[in-house]
Amino acid sequence: MVAVPETLAKKAMSRTRTFIAVELAKAIREKIVDLQDDLARTGVEVKWTEPENLHVTLNFLGEVPDTELHAICRLVSDGVAGTGPFALGVRAVGCFPHVRRPRVVGGAVGAGTQELVRIHAELEGPLFDLGYRTEDRKYTPHITLGRVKSAGPTDKLTTAIQKNAGWLGGEQVVHELQIMGSELTPNGPRYTVLGRAKLA
């Protein structure tokens, strides 16, 4: 039996928390930050998503062996090879799972929803064939703006969200998807671009 050096064994077992996403334009992120600041004035404890981490997730893969990351990037590139650039609009703000008990504050996607849903579906089959699970629930494109941490009343936050129901975050043109790595830290997730899949 051949002994494998410990450093090589650790590298072979190395995994990266991975997802496929659309990066948001700077102008949209700035509008979201203004909205977050407005909602934060309610005093309800929320862990707001950092500006550089704001995105629209298409497919979440979970822990991916680093040896498979190249194949994932190739799969995504092939999957969008026939898709051209499209407009993506960010509008409205809501919360999950219920307005009276908000746990997640999210922004909705208007224009571009059909394209994102189609791309998600087209990637899901090949990803499943590689061994990555599919979501049980229907895919709905959105942006996570923050996660509620407060165990106390959230009435003021709910009221502020309802007041901003017609909020508009702007539009951008999507030219590529990003394959992202996520490292969980005490200060929140740190994202790294592992690969880019250009649209046709």
Over the stretch 88-119, which tens digit does the pLDDT of each residue have?
999 989 888 877 788 999 999 999 999 999 99
pLDDT at 12: 53
Report which of 161, 167, 142, 188 is spatially closest to residue 31, judged by C-alpha positions: 167
Which among 70, 98, 120, 142 is annotated as catalytic?
A: 142
pLDDT at 135: 76
Instruction: Locate the domains of the chain by residue range.
Output: 16-198
Q: Could you confirm whether 70 is annotated as catalytic?
A: no
Using the structure block, give the residue that is written with the tokens 């703000």. Answer: 93
pLDDT band with cut points at 50, 70 and 90 for residue 1 = very low
Tokens describing residue 112:
């571009």
Q: Is the whole-model pTM more than 0.85?
A: yes
Neighbours of 146 (CB within 10 A): 22
DSSP character at residue 166? T
pLDDT at 9: 45
CA 160 from chain centre, in angstroms, equals 24
pLDDT band with cut points at 50, 70 and 90 for residue 5 = very low
Check pLDDT > 60 for residue 3. Answer: no
Which among 55, 70, 120, 175 is annotated as catalytic?
A: 55
Comparing 53 with 185, which gets the higher pLDDT?
A: 53
Read off the pLDDT of each residue in 128-135 and give the average, rounded to a whole number: 84
Q: Could you confirm whether 98 is annotated as catalytic?
A: no
35 in helix, strand or coil? helix
Tokens describing residue 120:
């998600």
Cβ atoms of 75 and 130 within 8 Å: the answer is yes
What is the CATH T-level fold of the domain 16-198, as seen in this structure? Answer: Cyclic Phosphodiesterase; Chain: A, (3.90.1140)
Q: Per residue in 37-56, pLDDT tens?
A: 999 999 999 999 999 999 99
Report which of 86, 58, 70 is spatially closest to residue 130, judged by C-alpha positions: 70
Check pLDDT > 80 for residue 146. Answer: yes
How does the average pLDDT of the chain come out, rounded?
90
